[in-house]
A = this chain, B = another copy of it.
Amino acid sequence: MADSSAPTRVMMAVNESSLKGYPHPSISCRAAFDWMLSKLVRSNADGFHLLFLHVQVPDEDGFDDMDSIYASPTDFQTMKQRDKIRGIHLLEHFVNQCHELGIKCEAWTKQGDPKEVICSEVKRVQPDLLVVGSRGLGPFQRVFVGTVSEFCVKHAECPVITIKRKANEAPQDPIDD
């Protein structure tokens, strides 16, 4: 079989780690990325084109910002700007890895509710495959598929791969995830 057809376009939603914080990607999305490289892309770097989406959740950093005082519209502007920079740094991590491996990629950020934004971006970008990491096998709930991945499996208009994390990859306290 010659591989002359267009590369397989794989979209991946990536998010920040709440354990290690900025600018580290979450355990789930790093595990999903590594799995995808070793099990799907393998040696066929030319056959795949990766698309990284980071969705910025407007209220995501509520706790970090408890000490902040927003006294003017400019303060909000600064916060939004900072969140955008964080998202860009997160994407940079994955883009750098792809670059080292010779895999073509694109990355972008969007604001909103992750599950809704992911599905609307799938509709717009029309990837061949959407990869979603899931917190998976936790210590208390042996099998749990998060609402984002569950929503995407049902609503995204392309095949979806759900990669559950192994129990030993989960942090002790779910809040550290």
| Count of chain A residues with a beta carbon within 8 Å of a chain B beta carbon | 33
- In the assembled complex, A57 has its CB within 8 A of some CB on chain B: no
Contacts of A5 in B (CB 8 A): 38, 42
- In the assembled complex, A126 has its CB within 8 A of some CB on chain B: no
Q: A1-B42, A1-B101, A42-B5 in contact; A153/B159 too (CB < 8 A)?
A: no
Contact call A160/B159, Cβ cutoff below 8 A: no
Query: Binary interface profile of A, 140-177, with partner B (CB < 8 Å = 1, else 0)?
Result: 00010100011001110101111110000000000000
For chain A, residues 1 to 36, give those with C-beta under 8 angstroms from any C-beta of chain B.
1-3, 5, 8, 35
Query: Binary interface profile of A, 94-115, with partner B (CB < 8 Å = 1, else 0)?
Result: 0000000110000000000000
Contacts of A150 in B (CB 8 A): 153
Contacts of A40 in B (CB 8 A): 8, 40, 129
Contact call A43/B39, Cβ cutoff below 8 A: no
